[in-house]
Structure 1
Amino acid sequence: MSAPLPALDPAFFDAAQTARAWPFEEAKKLVARLEKTGKTEVLFETGYGPSGLPHIGTFGEVARTTMVRTAFRLLTRDEIPTRLLAFSDDMDGFRKVPGNVPNQEMMASFLGKPLTRVPDPFSNEYPSFGAANNARLRAFLDGFNFNYEFASSTDYYTSGKFDEALLRMLSVYDAVMDIMLPSLGPDRRATYSPFLPISKVNGNVLQVPMVEINAKAGTIVYIDPADGEKYETAVTGGAVKCQWKPDWALRWFALGVDYEMAGKDLIDSVKLASRIVTALGGNPPEGFNYELFLDEGGQKISKSKGNGLTIDEWLTYAAPSSLGLYMFGKPRAAKRLHFDVIPRAVDDYYSFVSSYHAQTPAERLENPAFHVHFGAVPNPDVPLSFALLLNLVSTANAEDTTVLWGFISRYLKGATAKTHPEIDSLAGYAVRYFNDKVKPTKIYRAPTDQERAALQDLADQLAAHEGSTDAEMLQNLVFEVGKAHNFDPLRAWFGAIYEVLLGQTQGPRFGSFIALYGVAETRKLIDTALAGKLLKAE
């Protein structure tokens, strides 16, 4: 049973009936499904292949599924029990040593074994590679406070939980083969079977053809390539596992899964698994296919390649809430998953949260913040943007948040790290992000004659506003200076400010930056740039 929804005004349940955000559109499919099936509980599932370190794509699937689960609970006024099962395919054969794990030579000697029989390459803390990666996944999901149940393929196969479904698959073996064989190439067809015996000789997961199928006895016969001998084995008790598409269908059938989403690259696999579920006598789950996450070069991220961002990398530079927002937006559009998406995700998150608490229930259900926090949206006091703090770190040469607080406390009278812990946390992320990801790429340039004159004029006019923290007034002043010096378009003036003073092509509202950094400090920064000292500092 899932945790109760946060205390919501009854108007939220009414507003949910007409909500248009994509989680509600998905949840409506489940409402219709229950009307047909008569089920009294809904099972959501997400799958995880622990062949490499957990990555953000895995987290995204759990987060998005939980968003749909929350929407469903609102649509049904939280009267229908729901469960979320995070299923790890940790009995899968170990096919390739990931490039981002230690002890490569040792790992290579275990190729072909189930992942839960491959030693942990990181330490002796866990009994296997599969267990180590499962633990990493659970630690993150727990850290984000997901409400879920974890399930291990090894446990479900070896404990007998799948026995009945495996015997059912054996009884419709020919139908499953008729579904799968047309999707395979000629070489693969020659050796294909939905069942993968676990070798009695060396413990490998075998991809071998079946010599005999004995449905009444519940056994299969195959030849083990390790010794060329013929073996008969039961399909129950963990003696075999299924090929992954039949395995997917097996889970859906055995567990009665009602909803599971998958990446766009798995559309054909979903169709095949759905047909197999039907052959087994079950109902394929609802769901949708989300677009892929791409790395900096536009390539699909991969656990084995280790490209793109890891969970730990994102959390080094931003809070989980910003990651949740990134997952919510446009799930059917391809998204780059690289370090440069983090600042925008952070600032967008705080923008949505700041507007949330002044909205009506209907408006809140369309606000991404509602879905990121599954209805329990916080109300932090964060009047500073991540982008602004990044530039403050740069100009103040801050190596820690102590330096930043000297500026923040002046801008927000009386504010301290204790009174504003959210700002303190954000400042810490900004220090790390700037020094690791921004500082190495900063390139200052000398101003043109037009830019030099405008910057000097700005410095001169700022002298009359010493001590001001009026960001709007200061922004207007910057605008007027740009206009007076005939910048057309005006964005060229702001581009010059960022490139000459900050060493980057984009930046925050400069009036807000002046208010935070200080008028006197900004005038000194301009003098330093016009003297060419920022160029020398590179």
Structure 2
Amino acid sequence: MTEQDIIGKGTWIDKLASELLEREKTLGRNTDLLRVESGLGASGIPHIGSLGDAVRAYGVKLALENLGYKSELIAYSDDLDGLRKIPEGMQEFGLEEHIAKPVSLIPDPYGCHDSYGMHMSSILLEGLDKVGIKYEFRRAVDTYKQGSLKEQIHTILQNSAKIGEKISELVGQEKYQKYLPYFPVCANCNRLYTAEATEYVADEKKVKYTCHDTEIGSKLVKGCGHIGEADIGKDLGKLAWKVEFAARWAAFDIRFEAYGKDIMDSVKVNDWVADEILKFPHPHHVKYEMFLDKGGKKISKSLGNVITAQKWLEFGSPKSILLLLYKRITGARELGFDDIPSLMAEYNELEDIYFGRIKVDNQAKLTKSKGLYEYVNLLNPPKQSSTHVNYRLVIELAKIFKENRGQRVMKKLLDYGVIKNPEPEIEKLIELAGNYADEFDEQEKIQIDLDDTSKKALKLLVDELGGDKELEDIQNTIYQIAKSNDIQPKDFFKILYQIILGTSRGPKIGPFISDIGRKQVAKTLSEYT
């Protein structure tokens, strides 16, 4: 990559913003305000993937502003969506009776918000607040009640036959050739998906519907039999997903929205509806892969294998979440809390590159690394570097010191010469690492390539550390084992740091092993012999 090829700060975020601007110029649209949007699911507990949608959209907003354009993020909660299934872990709340009702009409089972939907939305909004994302929040229930989509609903329903044919052609779904792509909320039972609309009276702006049995997932949901009419501007109802995005884009003038591969079909149809029916050029898109759990399953609200921002922030910094989400956008990634130590270390490395403590000769890589650091700091990087303390080192110390942990770990860091003075930032790191140490007994094994000589030396050290004989000088024992096996001591120390701390250096290794406990270290090292 040459310097001429570098766009903005050299990241995928800058490339997306540049593509968006080129497209807007080609379309000849006004660029005074470029809105980006993120949809927030409100039917289950929001996870890191849900957060990622908004965080990445915010990155594009920042990139547009960096290029001199005004931009804002709309965070839209789809809280008129119907509850399709009970999320894992919520069976005790008696939500079965509310299946197919809009989540904004279901009472909050926790009793702290105006609805189930608002409770779930608030979890995600709190996560965004904690990592520093600024947004304008809009709710589906308000959007529809206020008639903000009335014009788009009218146009879509007038063209429902044409849309039904196109949906069948594009994705093979045929039900919208029979029913309108609009679900009124049944006036009798408050259910959404059971009230299927069959006719639109355009001059009155009303749909006629019947509430009958319908299948949601693999379950039959009973309709109440009510036959009614619903005014699209006054009565509660919502567009089907296959057309609703398009209506929002046109009504809110949205220029960018990312999407997950799980809704590709909906986006394909919505793009066509926006372009051909609403005459609003669809937004610039980027498709991202889903986060998977460590078992390879998609992280899902209904499966209950969620990693929330709130839980993550018990163990890692807000910067670690932003780094996770801004590193890249393509490719499926397995995600777990055991990724936190490496992300905490990676942030420190990026900071060292940014402030010139680590030299990077490749100009494109240097620009990209610095750019990524700036985006992780939401384009407001600090004026000077923070004090870096190895997160894994603090975890190991936190395992030793459970009583009066903060003070005792801080003292050890001072004794080791890792820090010069106690700082509030390091107190917070000790708290996070302590939470991690308490929650997770085992850390993921760090992969290191070792030759036979190194393995033999490690085996000798394991025997010494794991034996019953007291070792007066662990530092010297390690030194002697290295020398007797023709290994440079500094190289052997480096191997030990990599195994114990996941880094190439650390505090003086002998006293550190003594603090952790030599038999505990022997057990860890034995996995590599």
Return the TM-score normalized by structure 1: 0.81
Tell me by how many angstroms 1:341 deviates.
0.8
2:498 maps to 1:507: no
Match of 1:99 among 85, 88, 101: 88
Match of 1:46 among 38, 53, 58: 38
Instruction: Provide Cα deviations, 1:37-90, integer angstroms capped at 9, x if missing partner.
Output: 331210100001100112111211111111111111222x2xx32111000000
Structure 2 CA distance for partners of 1:453 and 1:375, relative to 1, 3 Å: same
| Aligned-pair CA distance for 1:406 | 1.6
Asked if 1:385 is matched to 2:390, the reply is yes
| 1:313 maps onto 2:311 in alignment | yes
The Cα RMSD (Å) is: 3.6
Shift of 1:29: 1.6
Which aligned pairs between 1:180-219 and structure 2 lie closer than 5 A? Answer: 180-182=167-169, 188=175, 192-207=179-194, 209-219=196-206
How do residues 353-502 of structure 1 correspond to structure 2 at under 5 angstroms?
353-358=351-356, 363=366, 366-367=369-370, 368-378=372-382, 379-395=384-400, 400-412=405-417, 415-417=420-422, 420-439=423-442, 451=458, 453-454=460-461, 481-482=481-482, 484-485=484-485
Q: How many residues align?
A: 489
Using a 3 Å threshold, how does the CA distance of structure 1 residues 117 and 487 change in structure 2: closer, same or farther? Answer: same
- Are the equivalent residues in 2 in contact too, given 1:118–1:129 (CA < 8 A)? yes
Taking only the aligned residue pairs, the percentage that are identical comes to 24
- Post-superposition shift, 1:119? 0.8
Helix, strand or coil: the match of 1:259? strand
Deviations 1:386-412 (A, max 9, x none): 122222334556772222112112233
**Comparing 206-215 and 33-42, the one that deviates more:** 206-215
Q: Unpaired segments of 5 or more residues in structure 2?
A: 213-222, 446-453, 466-470
Deviation at 1:432?
Answer: 1.2
Post-superposition shift, 1:375?
1.3
Contact 1:260 1:287 survives alignment (8 Å): yes
CA distance in 2, matches of 1:414, 1:299: 41
Alignment of 1:49-88 (within 5 A): 49-75=41-67, 77=68, 80-88=69-77
SS in 1 for 2:284: coil
Contact 1:116–1:129, Cα closer than 8 Å, also in 2: yes
Give me the TM-score of the superposition, normalised by structure 2. 0.82
How far is the alpha carbon of 1:117 from its aligned partner? 0.7
Paired residue secondary structure (1:281) = coil
The answer (yes or no) to whether the contact 1:102–1:121 under 8 Å persists in 2 is: no
SS at match of 1:84: strand
1:28 maps onto 2:26 in alignment: no
C-alpha spacing 1:239/1:349, structure 2 compared with 1 (3 Å): same
- For 1:484, the aligned partner's letter is S
**Stretch moving more, 85-94 or 234-243:** 234-243
SS at match of 1:287: strand
Change (3 A) 1:282 1:336: same
CA distance in 2, matches of 1:178, 1:184: 10
Q: What does the per-residue CA deviation read over 1:471-508, in whole Å, with 9 as the maximum and x for residues that have no partner?
A: xxxxxx968843632679x999977x58xxxxx96533
- 1:120 matched residue in structure 2: 108
Unaligned segments of structure 1, at least 5 residues? 1-13, 465-476, 499-503
Per-residue deviation, 1:192: 3.8
Residue 166 of structure 1 aligns to which amino acid in structure 2? I
Query: Counterpart of 2:281 in structure 1: which amino acid?
Result: N
* 1:239 and 2:236 correspond: yes
CA deviation digits over 1:212-265, x for unaligned, max 9?
222232222222224545323222224321111211111112111100001122
Alignment of 1:158-169 (within 5 A): 158-169=145-156
SS at match of 1:109: helix
Determine which of 235, 238, 248 is the counterpart of 1:251: 248
- After TM superposition, the structure 1 stretch with the greater mean CA deviation from structure 2, 350-359 or 403-412, is 350-359
What is the SS of the residue equivalent to 1:288? Answer: strand
Query: For the residues of structure 2 that align with 1:508 and 1:398, how far apart are their CA atoms?
Result: 26
**1:26 maps to amino acid:** L
Q: 3-state SS of the aligned residue for 1:253?
A: helix
- Structure 1 pair 309–413 and aligned structure 2 pair: CA distance change class (3 A): closer
Tell me if the contact between 2:7 and 2:15 (Cα under 8 Å) persists in the aligned partners. no
1:377 Cα deviation from its structure 2 partner:
1.4
Query: 1:524, 1:223 → 2: CA distance?
Result: 72
Q: Given the superposition, is the C-alpha separation of residues 480 and 165 from structure 1 closer, same or farther in structure 2, using an over 3 Å criterion?
A: farther
1:276 and 2:268 aligned: no
**Counterparts in 2 of 1:288 and 1:521: CA distance versus 1, 3 Å:** closer
Alpha-carbon shift at residue 151 of structure 1 (Å): 0.3
Give the CA deviation at 1:312: 1.5
